[in-house]
Amino acid sequence: MPSSTFSSSRLLAVTVVAVAIAASLMLVWEQHWHQADYPPMIYDDRNLWSVARDRAVRQDQDRLLAISGASRIQAAWSPRDFRQLQPGWESVSVAINGHYPMAVIHDLAADQRFAGLLLVTVDARGLARENWSASEPWVRHYHRDFGPQRRIERWLATRVQTRLVSAGADFNLIRRIEGWIRGSPPHRHSVHTLRDRTMEADFQRAHLPSLRNWFVELLAEAYREQPAPPPDQWLADLDALFAAVERIRDRGGQVVFLRMPTSDGHWELDQANYPREDYWDRFAARVPALAIHFQDEPALAELETPDTSHIDFRDRPRFTAAVVDILRREGLLPEPGD
Amino acid sequence: MTFDTLTFVLFLISVLAVVGITTSWRVKKRELLVASYLFYAAWNPVFVSLLIISTVVDWFAARGMARATVESARKRWLVASLTVNLGMLGYFKYADFLIDNLNRLGLWMGLGSRFEVPALDLILPIGISFYTFQTLSYTIDVYRRRVVPGRDFLDYALFVSFFPQLVAGPIVRYEQFIGQLKSPRRASSADFEIGAALIVFGLVLKSVLADSLFAPVVDAGFAAHAETGLIQAWTAVLGFSGQIYCDFAGYSLCAIGAARLFGFRLPKNFHAPYAAIGFSEFWQRWHISLSSWIRDYLYIPLGGNRSSTARTFRNLVLTMGLGGLWHGAAWTFVLWGLLHGIYLVVEHGLRRLLGTVDWLASRPMLLVYALLTFTAVSLAWVLFRAEQLAQAMDLYQAMFGLTGRGQLPSVAEAMVLIAIAFMLLWHGLLRQRELENIYAACAWPLRAIMLGLGLALVLMSPGEDRAFIYFQF
């Protein structure tokens, strides 16, 4: 190639013009979505979960509350309020949106470093054998693929995602071209993930009737596809879980199971498929840990679940305070000043 | 570490800065060696030990061969190198495959589950297939007296671990690289600009096309294998043809570009493979560094085409089957390789026929052959992508119309089909040209616009954390 094609001055010119073009296009792209009133938001993934999973064994285990479960506890729990209510303590969310926590419980039980207080939010369906491996891919990712680079990358991604709308997967150019052709703009989320992997659900921004219908229909279909096993078999299958709980307790940790509030059509379907007295109550009687049902705790039972299974972000402080009160009453959290 | 991450951008800038302010060539090389080990450790620090073992064993094996005065001693050193390298590769990559097959055999023989061996569930060290082949080519070449063993261990260690090509190639031969370490290298303006351009083009292939355009349609199509129709099955398979090319060729461009920023030249790994006319040519254009490795260290030692036609055919099928197994520890990969072996055998047979009939060798027919080659290669990709044989069979049935026509393509599927048509056209244009030369022939404002647009496309393509497909090999 002719030497005149490339020179240090040409290199500088190409670099400056290329960066200027890329920066200008990005600026226009970012501004477009900003003006359309889309806020920057954090996108949860297996790396962010792995960061939390790592924290669950690196924090002071005598003052650690690990939260597991799925979106219901992510939407209800407020780590900030917990820190205020229980000074010196930290809570870590290892909950996974849309995925039952059984694999996470077994993973923490197998990790000798974990000896904290583990709050497991789950319902009878989540304890059924078919759902045991739901969170397994996250656990495998943590143990097999999560190294220094992914940790740094996630740290950088969180910082970028909290500042730029266009850093979110919803605003991927190809997705947007596809959306423009189909006439479907990016989804306006009423739920936002926070850095601590909990979520804020703002149901004032959501269309509640359609959301309620959607959740109930989804659940009805799930029950049709996966009917409940007979209660005796369901309970007999849980021996390994009881052993996992014992392992955590043997090294000084504690486990608490919490059945989260659900309402209306959701609760009716839960009751019809997994009647409380046949499933949850028998589980609570056998598990070597405290098992709380929301109906038995007035402070939890009176909380509203606008979409039938999630708590609005305005109720997060109430929910957190209610759980802290229960745990103190049961002697699992010390009273402040103790 | 992967090239399509912010971490790599920071890493690359840091290494360029450190190497740039260093004046001593020897120190620069040490800095690159340290950077390469950091690059590897960023995925999982524990497995750096395997890289060290492979490097040290082959260094001493080569020196042992050079010192040996009798042939048997040379052979012993070669066997030691092969044992350690293939032993590590075999243990980490193929142990569970072997266990699974033994268990199936046991069940088939009626031994029952009492004799079942539990799977080891090992983590596959990233890049092990690549650096194992790279170091093995060194010891085999020393054994064959094609190269003289090096005298500087750290230079040799850098040859094995040089970070741009460490985890997914191109697989570099010792003689291609060691000469570049002997005298100081300084990236010229051309190296720097072309290197940066190759990285940007590689990222466009990976982030924009492979991950954002093709992957969602491919994933959905293969997941719905049991109820898919003709249109969706072909879209998913053609989409995978696009995805795997953009993913791996994108990685290779980034690797070559990153090396160029430091003044090093790595061999090209892809050259418009979907414009290949015939399967022999396809393998001269697809993953060139691997296919030439397999040719030189497997096919030719097996006898190549030096004896009878039957033996040549056997060698082709065997070589390609083993090449398939190199890609992954599953029968689907072996079958993919064997199918390519059969393609090559059929091509050998047909070539004789072409020589006897004039119109079959005419120019318009070349286009037909290229399209046939692409179609056959795409059919083979089904086996490569399928997680199980049953999934592949479902897709083949759908592709041959046995499950109905299917729905009209969705917007995303239509975009994939259009992109594939453009890709074929682009490969046709690139058939006799080099991307680098096309870029260099452009006026600088056009180059700046292309780079700026490419960079913007990459930045506008955030998405899931998708590893490069070839990282798992």
The domain that contains A115 carries what CATH number? 3.40.50.1110
What domain range includes position A31? 6-35
d(CA B432, CA B272): 9
Instruction: Give B309 to chain A, closest Cα distance, Å.
Output: 44
Name the 3-class secondary structure at B295: helix
Sheet holding A254-259, edge to edge: A90-93, A64-68, A117-121, A254-259, A290-293
Q: Which residue of B has its CA nearest to A24?
A: B456
Tell me, yes or no, whether A99 lies in a domain.
yes
Query: Is the model's pLDDT at A2 over the cut of 60?
Result: no
Same domain membership, residue A30 and residue A147: no
> Between the CA of residue A76 and those of A166, A318, B300, what are the distances in Å?
28, 9, 66
Query: A44: Cβ–Cβ under 8 A, 6 or more apart, which residues?
Result: A97, A193, A197
Tell me, yes or no, whether A219 lies in a domain.
yes
ipTM score for this prediction: 0.86
Averaged pLDDT, A324-337: 91
Same domain membership, residue A195 and residue A107: yes
Tell me, yes or no, whether A168 lies in a domain.
no
Query: What single DSSP character describes residue B286?
Result: S
- Report pLDDT for B470: 59
- Report pLDDT for A297: 95
Of A7, A26, A175, the CB nearest to B456: A26
Chain-chain contact of A11 with B193 (C-beta, under 8 angstroms):
yes
Same domain membership, residue A116 and residue A217: yes
d(CA A222, CA A215): 11
Same domain membership, residue A153 and residue A11: no
Same domain membership, residue A21 and residue A157: no
Chain-chain contact of B45 with A17 (C-beta, under 8 angstroms):
no
Q: Place B169 in a pLDDT band, splitting at 50, 70 and 90.
A: confident
Residue ranges with strand state E in A231-281: 254-259
Task: Answer with the residue of higher pLDDT: A224 or B364.
Answer: A224
Instruction: Give B353 to chain A, closest Cα distance, Å.
Output: 42
User: What is the number of residues in chain B?
Assistant: 473
Query: Is the model's pLDDT at A190 over the cut of 90?
Result: no
- Report pLDDT for B350: 85
Query: Is the model's pLDDT at B357 over the cut of 80?
Result: no
- Report pLDDT for A1: 52
Sequence letter at residue B3: F
Residue ranges with strand state E in A23-176: 64-68, 90-93, 117-121
Answer whether A67's CB lies under 8 Å from A94's CB: yes
Of B189, B460, B464, the CB nearest to A29: B460
Averaged pLDDT, A235-246: 96
Chain-chain contact of A11 with B189 (C-beta, under 8 angstroms):
yes
- Report pLDDT for A279: 96
Same domain membership, residue A15 and residue A132: no
Q: Is B6 on the interface with A (CB under 8 A)?
A: yes
Answer whether B170's CB lies under 8 Å from B252's CB: yes
Residues of A in Cβ contact (< 8 Å) with B190: 1, 3, 5-6
Catalytic residues of B: 327
Report pTM: 0.90
Q: Place A207 in a pLDDT band, splitting at 50, 70 and 90.
A: confident
Q: Place B113 in a pLDDT band, splitting at 50, 70 and 90.
A: confident
Averaged pLDDT, B16-31: 95
Tell me, yes or no, whether A337 lies in a domain.
no
Query: Is the model's pLDDT at B6 over the cut of 80?
Result: yes
Q: Place B366 in a pLDDT band, splitting at 50, 70 and 90.
A: confident
Same domain membership, residue A207 and residue A122: yes
Chain-chain contact of A153 with B192 (C-beta, under 8 angstroms):
no
d(CA A52, CA A301): 29
Of B44, B123, B452, the CB nearest to A17: B452
d(CA A256, CA A77): 15
Answer whether A222's CB lies under 8 Å from A272's CB: no
Q: Place A4 in a pLDDT band, splitting at 50, 70 and 90.
A: low
Same domain membership, residue A99 and residue A24: no
The total number of structural domains that make up chain A: 2
Q: Place B116 in a pLDDT band, splitting at 50, 70 and 90.
A: confident
Q: What is the pLDDT of residues B283-315, one digit of tens each?
A: 999 999 999 999 999 999 999 888 888 899 999
**Considering chain B, what is the average pLDDT of its residues?**
92
- Report pLDDT for B259: 97
- Report pLDDT for B215: 96
Residues of B in Cβ contact (< 8 Å) with A182: 411
Q: Which B residues in the span 399-438 are in contact with A, Cβ-Cβ below 8 Å?
A: 411-412, 415, 437
Mutate to test the interface with A, among B6, B9, B126 (most CBs of A within 10 A): B6
Same domain membership, residue A119 and residue A58: yes
Tell me, yes or no, whether A169 lies in a domain.
no
Tell me, yes or no, whether A232 lies in a domain.
yes
Closest CA to A202 of A71, A38, A313: A313
**Considering chain A, what is the average pLDDT of its residues?**
94
d(CA B190, CA B68): 45
Q: What is the pLDDT of residues B370-418, one digit of tens each?
A: 999 999 999 999 999 999 999 999 999 999 999 988 889 999 999 999 9
- Report pLDDT for B167: 86
